[in-house]
């Protein structure tokens, strides 16, 4: 019995030592992988060097505070000699487009800024694209959709069919109009139309200023139509057909940016830190044969409890 107890104590000590070295190995691997990930993310290493920053603006446009902070930081970063906005967006909110446009214009006042359009830059996406001083798109990219949209739902007939009445007491007839619970009154439609046309006029004037066109010329294109990159070039909505090579040519030849600078992806701080940490964690766990999906350290070291076949008992792996 004494021997069995001693064996049990020895096994526990061994397990504790093994756990310690596993933790130490995870920390060492994480540090190493973070170094590799950082080296890949910053190809010039940790030495401060000049570069061209590439900022991707993708998906639905919203008032993105992290992106706005990034654009502000790039403006004050002496290592950044120029910025490429890579836009691939169908549009989004007018306030989102306006705030990012203004931040990009402040950036362009400090250093050269060019836009490379991916698949599309439409509506608020196009608004942001023209904040740059040179807009490049592929021949089959989609640009335009200059206009403003306000949508609302009238579910009154549906509610009537299921026997639901929604009543309201309002301080004025236009309060909370249009409402999804009743057809919009004409006064509410007129109010929304005024709102839409005011924003539309601002959008048209913005494009006219940035593309060196008259407002009448822009209004001919600003009926919500979209255009290919080739059509956009013919209509003066973009400056050139091409890709990043054309952007680099313009930066170097027309704006005097030093030749051969690396183009480095710059992302909002939270996204960069999360991406590096997640990559390091996953690679380190795989390298050590641990479960990258583990939620706790004990799960990573010992494995998560599992249901073994048809045995209805939770047990640790052997």
Q: According to the model, what pLDDT value does residue 208 have?
A: 97
Residue that has been written with the tokens 């619970």 in this structure: 181
Would you place residue 317 in the very low, low, confident or very high pLDDT band (cuts 50, 70, 90)? very low
Would 265 be classed as within a structural domain?
Answer: no
Residue that has been written with the tokens 């060097």 in this structure: 49
Tell me the Ramachandran region of residue 176: left when phi exceeds 0, alpha when psi lies from -120 to 50, beta otherwise. left
Q: Does 109 have pLDDT greater than 70?
A: yes
Collapse the DSSP code of 138 into the 3-class scheme (helix H, G, I; strand E, B; otherwise coil) and give the result: coil
At a CB cut-off of 8 Å and minimum separation 6, what does 167 contact?
A: none
Would 208 be classed as within a structural domain?
Answer: yes
Would 76 be classed as within a structural domain?
Answer: yes
Number of structural domains found in the chain: 3
Q: Are residues 65 and 134 in the same domain?
A: yes
Task: Give yes or no for a contact between 282 and 37, defined as CB atoms under 8 angstroms apart.
Answer: no
Burial per residue of 66-105, b for 16 or more beta-carbon CB atoms within 10 angstroms, e otherwise: ebbebbeebbebeebbbbbbbbbbbbbebebbbbbbebbb
* Tokens read off for 141: 């990219």
Q: Are residues 139 and 233 in the same domain?
A: yes
Q: What is the CATH number of the domain that holds 195?
A: 3.40.1750.10
**Residue tagged active-site, from 89, 111, 123, 145:** 123
More confident residue, 288 or 65: 65
Q: Does 40 have pLDDT greater than 60?
A: no
Range of the domain at 158: 149-213
Q: What is the pLDDT of residues 72-97, one digit of tens each?
A: 999 999 999 999 999 999 999 999 99
Q: Are residues 234 and 138 in the same domain?
A: yes
Q: Are residues 64 and 154 in the same domain?
A: no
Q: Are residues 111 and 158 in the same domain?
A: no
Q: Are residues 34 and 119 in the same domain?
A: no
In this prediction, residues 33-41 reach a mean pLDDT of 50
Would 108 be classed as within a structural domain?
Answer: yes
Q: Does 9 have pLDDT greater than 90?
A: no
Q: According to the model, what pLDDT value does residue 94 have?
A: 93
How far, CA to CA in Å, does 74 sit from each of 67, 82, 264, 282?
11, 9, 12, 30
Per cent of the chain over pLDDT 70 is 69
* Tokens read off for 161: 């069919």
CA distance 205 to 104: 17
More confident residue, 8 or 306: 8
Would you place residue 306 in the very low, low, confident or very high pLDDT band (cuts 50, 70, 90)? very low
**Residue 89 β-bridge partners:** 121
Q: Does 201 have pLDDT greater than 90?
A: yes
Lowest mean pLDDT among 176-185, 222-231, 232-241, 253-262: 176-185
| Catalytic annotation present for 175 | yes
Would 267 be classed as within a structural domain?
Answer: no
Lowest mean pLDDT among 134-138, 263-267, 308-312: 308-312
Q: According to the model, what pLDDT value does residue 198 have?
A: 95
Secondary structure letter of residue 130 according to DSSP: T
In this prediction, residues 202-212 reach a mean pLDDT of 97
Q: According to the model, what pLDDT value does residue 154 have?
A: 87
At a CB cut-off of 8 Å and minimum separation 6, what does 150 contact?
A: 192, 195, 196
Q: Are residues 164 and 283 in the same domain?
A: no
Which of 77, 101, 12, 52 has its CA nearest to residue 258? 52
Q: According to the model, what pLDDT value does residue 268 have?
A: 87
Q: According to the model, what pLDDT value does residue 233 have?
A: 97
Collapse the DSSP code of 289 into the 3-class scheme (helix H, G, I; strand E, B; otherwise coil) and give the result: coil
- Whether a cis peptide bond, with omega within 30° of 0, leads into 200 is no
Would 263 be classed as within a structural domain?
Answer: no
Would 264 be classed as within a structural domain?
Answer: no
Q: Are residues 139 and 229 in the same domain?
A: yes
DSSP line for 144-195: E--S--------HHHHHHTT-------SSTTTT-S-TTSPPPHHHHHHHHHH
Q: Are residues 243 and 131 in the same domain?
A: yes
**Residue tagged active-site, from 175, 275, 282, 298:** 175
Q: Are residues 78 and 140 in the same domain?
A: yes
CA distance 201 to 170: 31
More confident residue, 240 or 22: 240
Q: Does 2 have pLDDT greater than 90?
A: no
**Phi–psi pair at 151, nearest 5 degrees:** -115, 145
Question: CA angle at residue 242 from 91 to 212, to 5 degrees?
Answer: 65
H, E, C per residue of 21-84: HHHHHHHHHHHHHHHHHHHHHCCCCCCCCCEEEEEEEEEEECCCHHHHHHHHHHHHCCCEEEEE
Would 78 be classed as within a structural domain?
Answer: yes
Q: What is the CATH number of the domain that holds 111?
A: 3.90.226.10
Q: Are residues 123 and 245 in the same domain?
A: yes
Task: Give yes or no for a contact between 303 and 82, defined as CB atoms under 8 angstroms apart.
Answer: no
Q: Are residues 137 and 238 in the same domain?
A: yes
């Amino acid at each position: 019995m004494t021997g069995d107890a001693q064996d049990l104590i020895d096994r526990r000590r061994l397990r504790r030592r093994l756990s310690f070295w596993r933790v130490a190995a995870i920390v060492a691997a994480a540090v190493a992988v973070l170094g590799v990930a950082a080296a890949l993310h910053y190809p010039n290493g940790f030495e401060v060097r000049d570069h061209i920053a590439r900022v991707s603006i993708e998906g639905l446009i919203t008032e993105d505070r992290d992106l706005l902070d990034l654009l502000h930081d790039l403006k004050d970063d002496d290592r950044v000699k120029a910025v490429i906005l890579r836009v691939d967006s169908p549009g989004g909110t007018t306030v989102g487009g306006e705030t990012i446009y203004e931040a990009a214009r402040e950036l362009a006042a400090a250093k050269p800024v060019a836009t490379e359009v991916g698949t599309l830059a439409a509506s608020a996406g196009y608004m942001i694209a023209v904040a740059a001083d040179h807009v490049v798109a592929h021949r089959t990219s989609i640009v335009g959709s200059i206009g403003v949209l306000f949508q609302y739902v009238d579910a009154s007939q549906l509610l009537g069919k299921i026997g639901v009445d929604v009543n309201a007491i309002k301080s004025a007839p236009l309060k909370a109009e249009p409402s999804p619970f009743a057809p919009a009154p004409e006064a509410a439609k007129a109010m929304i139309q005024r709102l839409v046309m005011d924003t539309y006029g601002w959008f048209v004037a913005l494009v006219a200023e940035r593309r060196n066109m008259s407002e009448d010329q822009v209004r001919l294109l600003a009926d919500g139509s979209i255009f290919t990159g080739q059509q956009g070039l013919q209509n003066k909505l973009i400056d050139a057909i091409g890709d990043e090579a054309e952007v680099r040519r313009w930066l170097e030849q027309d704006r005097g940016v030093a030749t051969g600078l690396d183009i480095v992806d710059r992302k909002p701080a939270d996204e960069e830190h999360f991406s590096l940490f997640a990559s390091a964690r996953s690679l380190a766990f795989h390298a050590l044969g641990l479960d990258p999906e583990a939620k706790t350290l004990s799960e990573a070291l010992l494995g998560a409890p599992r249901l073994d076949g048809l045995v209805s008992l939770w047990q640790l792996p052997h």
